[in-house]
Amino acid sequence: MNRFFISLLEGTKIAFSAIWTNKTRAILTTTCIVIGIVSVTAMNTISDGIDRAFEDSMDMLGRNVVYVEKWPWGFGGEYRWWEYRNRREMELSYVDQLRELTPTATEVSATASNFTSIRYRDRQADRVMTQGVTSGYFQTAGINIDEGRAFTESEIHRVARVVVLGGSVADLLFPNEDPLGKQVQIRGQRFTVIGTIERRGNFLGLEDFDNMIVMPITAYGTIYSLRSGIQLAVQFDSDEAMIDGEYEVIGAMRQIRRLDPMDDNDFSINQAALFEQEFQGMKMAIYGIGIFLTGLALFVGGIGVMNIMYVSVKERTKEIGIRKAVGAKPWEILLQFLMEAIVICLVGGVIGVALSVGVTQLINQFFVAYMDWTTVLNAILICAFVGILFGYLPSSKASKSDPIDSLRYE
């Protein structure tokens, strides 16, 4: 065992010495590994970033919420829009009726939304998601108030022109002042800012969830019509409760709509889980392409290491003969050259991981990426594996060479 560790240490020293002696060749070889490791690490950081962003985004959509709408979410299968467009619209009165008919629900809310512009003095925010909501919306949507307050039920009934701003809108309109109590203009009407929403970030790094404003749905109705576009949200206290609650909601809606037993539902039940299932398929396709490309990059890098190791073995044939002549075992020769291949790959891996930190930051400017210690560890292990896999054949050839022929080699 002591001899093995001594040989391992000596092999590592010889490997660094050989790399230093042939710096140009080592640089060219490690470049292949660097490209492969940057590709692998970038793929891992993107996949980890997508997973984390998706989990956060699912929390924004509401995991224990059933959405009742005229239109189904268009995920897979045939989308029969010609049937859906003839359905009756959701009505605001359904909120109270659903509360009575779904006793297991913890909250019911209604939402209507549109894009609009909002002004404050000489500053303007364009294409802001404007949502008119009932008071239960803040719970069903999982939205917390950062500063100020949410509007009350009485403010909804008396059509109070009050508004709660998302973080991005507040930053744009009030960069250097407190927005609370200020009046903003929305489609020619004045609204008083009573609160700001706790920041939620981007959906998968793309859509800004803070580029929004929330107002009482009755005040929204004075700007836009409430005759169409209302979405109902029914929240339950757990995933298990939501499974039975979905059937409860369907039964309640059929009762509210006065549908006969043989009539089809003239409404759609949507859940965040539908989006999650669709996303899993997309994610697997992205991962498949990424794995193929990173595998190809590592294969090219491994082939480069193998070629260089064959050259190294050829150049040092006489050295191998001398070592065998003085008593070196075949496994010691194999270990020496195998360590050289591993060291080359590890050096390339360290450089690749260092470059990947910058690549991760660059990706984050346009999409989502996240690097943790497991990504770094995986990169190092992959480097060692590539070194062993592609360095074994040249090392095995060196260990099996005849010492007499090796000593005669010029």
What is the spatial distance between Cα 332 and Cα 406, in angstroms, rounded to a whole number? Answer: 16
Which residue's entry shows tokens 């956060």? 56
Q: Of 131, 54, 62, nearest to 270 (Cα)?
A: 62
Which residue bears the tokens 């690097």? Answer: 371
- Tell me if 138 sits within 8 A of 145, measured CB to CB: yes
**What is the predicted pLDDT for the residue at 76?**
54
Which amino acid is present at 274?
L
Tell me the C-alpha distance between 199 and 81, whole Å. 35
Residue position matching structure tokens 């490209």: 35
Please give the residue that has the higher pLDDT: either 208 or 393.
Answer: 393
* 186: pLDDT strictly greater than 90: yes
Contact 173, 118 (CB under 8 A): yes
CA dist 369 and 183 (Å) reads 39
> What is the predicted pLDDT for the residue at 204?
60
Average pLDDT over residues 366-370: 74
Do the Cβ atoms of 196 and 165 come closer than 8 Å?
yes
| Position 269, amino acid | I
What's the pLDDT score for residue 254?
93
Distance CA 205, CA 297 (A): 27
Residues near 253 by beta carbon (within 8 Å), at least 6 away in sequence: 68, 94, 98, 265, 267
Strand partners, 203: 207
- Output 409 or 109, whichever has higher pLDDT: 109
Give the start-to-end residue ranges of the domains of the chain.
Answer: 2-57+277-408, 88-266
pLDDT for the residue 63: 65
- Which residues touch 246 (CB under 8 Å, ≥6 apart)? 66, 269, 271
Rounded to whole angstroms, what are the CA distances from 178 to 15, 183, 340, 341? 64, 12, 63, 62
Q: Considering the entire predicted model, what is its pTM?
A: 0.66
- Give CA–CA dist 209/220, Å, rounded: 19
Cβ distance 115 to 127 under 8 Å?
A: yes
In this model, does residue 154 exceed pLDDT 80?
A: yes
Is the pLDDT at 94 greater than 90, yes or no?
yes
Q: Can you give the three-state secondary structure of 202-226, one letter per residue?
A: EECCCEECCCEEEEEHHHHHHHCCC
Give the Cα separation of 70 and 371 in Å (integer): 41
Q: Say how far apart CA 347 and CA 39 lie, in whole Å.
A: 16
Question: Is 39's pLDDT higher than 70?
Answer: yes
Phi, psi for 191 (deg, rounded to 5): -125, 140
* Nearest to 204, CA basis, from 56, 365, 53: 53
CA angle at residue 97 from 92 to 101, to 5 degrees?
145
**Res 2: pLDDT:** 65
Given this model, what pLDDT does residue 134 score?
Answer: 94
- How does residue 339 score in pLDDT terms, banded at 50, 70 and 90? confident
Sign of torsion over alpha carbons 223, 229, 235, 239: negative
Q: Which residue from 188, 206, 209, 187 is spatially nearest to 198, judged by alpha carbons?
A: 209
| pLDDT > 90? residue 355 | no
In angstroms, the CA 320 to CA 399 distance is 8
Based on its alpha-carbon atoms, the radius of gyration of the chain, rounded to whole angstroms, reads 32
- Tell me the range of 128-142, 312-326, 353-367 where mean pLDDT is highest: 128-142
